[in-house]
């Protein structure tokens, strides 16, 4: 049976790709990519030419048969637009289906905004909680924050530039004394790290609510 390689790719700076990741991408039969244009730029930079299959989150189930068919022919690499696939990115259904079909799934570790943000936040605790993208509805967001009130573990979440101000406002209301570290555009030209309470970070962001955000909330 073939192997499905879950390959971590840069979250911004293209220099962060590992030598092993490049070797695997050059050796597989095909690459299942969240956005073939994004992956194409990475491959072009390193002189790699491979057939690519579109495997996007909104229609993940639709793309599944095609990728499984490619696995029947040879090894396939799964990549997302940035970071490690399946972490709030498409790929979980494919990994499950690949195992069920008798294939082997191999991790090719590398960049992750979750661990990158945690490493510079400076918050201790027995492990951490990964929240994915924060809830859109205020009621759900408040319930989530309440569940963190007595949790000693730091929590990590993703947020969009369109919702970061609203989310930080709700965090400031629910957990006003907690330390919060917000990273923006990690490893990119406009990388920024803001640290303080949610209210202090909110004030510091000002009109710079642009780019991709990762939020770390200290534990109780």
Print the SS3 string covering the chain. CCEEEEECECCCCHHHCCHHHHHHHHHCCEEEECCHHHHHHHHHHCCCCCCEEECCHHHHHHHHHHHHHHHHHCCEEEECCCECCCCCCCCHHHHHHHHHCCCEEEEECCCCHHHHHHHHHCCCCCCCEEEEECCCCHHHHHHHHHHCCCCCCCEEEEECCCCHHHHHHHHHHHCCCCCEEEEECCCCCCCEEEEECHHHHHHHHCCCCCCCEEEEECCC
Question: 8 near 109, Cβ under 8 Å?
Answer: yes
Q: Which residues contact 199 (CB under 8 A, 6 or more apart)?
A: 172, 176
pLDDT at 79: 96
Same fold for the pair 3-108 and 113-217: no
pLDDT at 124: 87
Domain boundaries, the chain: 3-108, 113-217
d(CA 207, CA 220): 30
Name the CA dihedral angle for 88, 184, 33, 20, rounded to a multiple of 10 degrees.
Answer: -100
Residue 126 neighbours by CB distance under 10 Å: 9
pTM above 0.85, yes or no: yes
Tell me the CATH number of domain 113-217, given options 3.90.800.10, 3.30.950.10, 3.40.50.620, 3.40.50.300.
3.30.950.10
pLDDT at 16: 94
pLDDT at 1: 87
Q: pLDDT digits over 99-143, tens only?
A: 999 999 999 999 999 999 999 999 988 999 999 999 999 999 999
Dihedrals phi, psi of 163, to nearest 5 degrees: -125, -5
Compute the C-alpha angle 219/190/177, nearest 5°. 20
CATH class of 3-108: alpha beta
Instruction: Write out the chain's pLDDT in tens, 220 residues.
Output: 899 999 999 998 999 999 999 999 999 999 999 999 999 999 999 999 999 999 887 777 788 999 999 999 999 999 999 989 988 778 899 999 999 999 999 999 999 999 999 999 999 889 999 999 999 999 999 999 999 999 999 999 999 999 999 999 999 999 999 999 999 999 999 899 999 999 999 999 987 788 889 999 999 9
pLDDT at 108: 97
Strands 76-79 and 3-7: parallel
């Amino acid at each position: 049976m073939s192997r499905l390689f879950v390959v971590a790719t840069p979250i911004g700076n293209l220099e962060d790709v590992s030598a092993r990741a490049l070797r695997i991408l050059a050796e597989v039969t095909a690459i299942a990519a969240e956005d073939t244009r994004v992956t194409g730029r990475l491959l072009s930079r390193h002189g790699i030419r491979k057939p690519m299959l579109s495997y996007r989150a909104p229609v993940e189930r639709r793309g599944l048969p095609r990728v499984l068919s490619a696995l029947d022919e040879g090894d396939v690499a799964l990549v997302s637009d940035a970071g490690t696939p399946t972490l709030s990115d498409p790929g979980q259904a494919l990994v499950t289906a690949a195992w069920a079909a008798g294939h082997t799934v191999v991790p090719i570790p590398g960049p992750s905004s979750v661990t990158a943000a945690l490493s510079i936040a400076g918050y201790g605790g027995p492990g951490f909680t990964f929240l994915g993208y924060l809830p859109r509805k205020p009621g759900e967001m408040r319930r989530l924050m309440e569940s963190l009130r007595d949790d000693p573990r730091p929590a990590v979440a993703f947020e969009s530039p369109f919702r970061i101000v609203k989310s930080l406002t709700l965090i400031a209301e629910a957990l006003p004394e907690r330390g919060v570290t917000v990273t923006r555009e990690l490893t990119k030209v406009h990388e920024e790290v803001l640290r303080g309470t949610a209210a202090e970070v909110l004030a510091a962001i000002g009109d710079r609510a642009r780019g991709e955000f990762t939020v770390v909330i200290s534990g109780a």
